Structure formats: C-alpha cells, structure tokens
Amino acid sequence: MSTAFDRKNFMNPLLLILLLFIAVPLSELFVLIKIGHIIGAVPTIMLALLTAGLGVFLVRREGISVLAKINSSFQNRETPTVAVLEAFILLISGLFLLTPGFITDVIGFIFLTPFIRQKVCSRIAQNFVRHNGPPDNPPAAPHTIEGNYKVEDD
C-alpha cells in the first residue's frame, strides 16, 4: 500500500533541484536586504565583494594543496579517491563563494575548511566502497609477454 507521502515519491531529485533554484536566491535576497538595512547598501556590497575575493584566494591555496596530494598519490601508485573528491568539493565551494550572497558564502567557507572537507570526502569514499564493494573478480596477475628482440645501432 503506497501513500502520496511515501519516501520514494516524496522527494524527486528534480523537484528538490527546482526548490533549491527558487529558495536559495530568495533567501539570499532576503538576507542581503536585511544586512543592507542594518549596515547600509555600500558596506553590504563591499562585504559581498570581500568574501568573494577572499574565497577565490583561499580556494586557489587549498586547490594547490589538493593537487599536490593527487600528484603524490600518483607517484606512490595509489588511487587518489579522497583527493579527487576534495578537488570536486573545492570547485563547488568556489562556486558558492563567487555567488553573491551570505548564505552561500557561509556554506563555501565551511567546505573550505580542510578538516571538514577531508571528513566529508572520507565518508563519501567509505560509503561508495561499502555500497559498491570491491570487484568480484580480482585483477589477474601480470602477464609475461615473451618475444625476441635485437639491438640496432643508428
């Protein structure tokens, strides 16, 4: 027996995205207007520009750090799963910081924090491995290819 408020039918992902596209700009506008009334229009605009500039600087700095982790993982012949997830979260964080508004700035700064970002990425990676599991057929041993060769001088 299924009801209209069944969990599967209640939150369609497209409906959630549509609600976010409506709710986020309206709430950002509300907060900007409220802060504008408290501190004035020009300081509000300057504060929004300051957070965007600071966000770009911090995303760039953290991005260089994450790229170094990815490079180190490749050099150690490891899969850089968590580091790649960190890079993706940094991209999203940068987009939030460039979006005008204070709510998205707070979310962007939260995910710029290395500790929080690493915890979230580790949890995502663990959930992915737990749900998908290791492959059923482990990779075969390396193959040896035999053949003949001859050295030619130029």
Residue 1 has pLDDT above 60, yes or no: no
pLDDT tens sequence across 71-113: 998 899 888 888 889 999 999 999 999 888 999 999 999 999 9
Q: Are 69 and 86 contacting, i.e. CB atoms less than 8 angstroms apart?
A: yes
Asked whether 55 and 112 are in contact (CB, 8 A), the reply is yes
In this prediction, residue 133 has a pLDDT band, given cuts at 50, 70 and 90, of low
- Model confidence, pTM: 0.70
What secondary structure does DSSP assign to 63-102, as a single string? HHHHHHHHHHHHHTT---HHHHHHHHHHHHHHHHHHSSSH
Residue 40 pLDDT: 94
Query: SS3 of 83, please?
Result: helix
CB-based contact 130:96 (threshold 8 Å): no
Taking the C-alpha atoms of residue 127 and residue 70, their distance in angstroms, rounded to an integer, is 21
